[in-house]
Amino acid sequence: MPTYTGSCYCRAILYELELASPDDARTSLCHCANCKKAFGTNYGLTAKVPKDSFRLKSGAPKEHVSDNGSGTSIYREFCDTCGSFILEYGEQAKEHFRYICVGSLDDPEALPPKGEFFCKSRASWMPEIPNVFHKEEVKN
Ligand SMILES: [Zn+2]
Ligand SMILES: [Zn+2]
């Protein structure tokens, strides 16, 4: 089984992803306003993985919970020391999936994107990623 390691910037938080296959991860860009703010860039980049594939090896992320603006709670976990964003998930995915911040993987190239969400909010200077799916809105 492929195992992927990851950490925050200061490495207080270390984690492992163990997937039956790389196909079990769905990496996507999200151009929504919440992702812009949470990631501090013009899009969010996460890999959706089964909840049980994620294992914390050291450290304890701090959790932030907020309404995403449409009545759904979004949970975000990040390093309390260096501020690196590690993962997020919505209320409806809570028991099943985690959305791992791809840049926190030790090899972020290991899980390339399969699609883009909220393309209607894409920064005007940013081109589309070729050969992946494109959705104007919803991320799930
Ligand atoms: Zn850290
Ligand atoms: Zn988003």
Number of domains into which the chain is organized: 1
pLDDT digits (tens, 9 = 90+) for 76-91: 999 999 999 999 999 9
Unique residue bearing structure tokens 């999936």: 97
Q: Which residues neighbour ligand 1 (ion) by CB within 5 Å? A: 8, 10, 12, 79, 81-82
Question: Does residue 105 lie in a domain region?
Answer: yes
User: Residue 39: which residues within 8 A CB-CB, separation 6 or more?
Assistant: 45, 85, 101
- Which DSSP letter does residue 13 get? S
123 located within any domain? yes
Position 85 scores a pLDDT of 98
pTM for the model: 0.94
How far does the centroid of ligand 2 lie from the alpha carbon of residue 121, in Å? 10
Quickly tell me which residue has 């099943």 as its tokens.
96
Q: Is residue 139 part of a domain?
A: no
Please check whether residue 140 lies inside any domain of the structure.
no
What domain range includes position 54?
A: 3-134
Domain at 27, CATH number: 2.170.150.70
- pLDDT tens digits for range 9-67: 999 999 999 999 999 999 999 999 999 999 999 999 999 999 999 999 999 999 999 99
Looking at the CA of 28, name the nearest ligand: 2
For residue 58, give both structure tokens: 């050291």
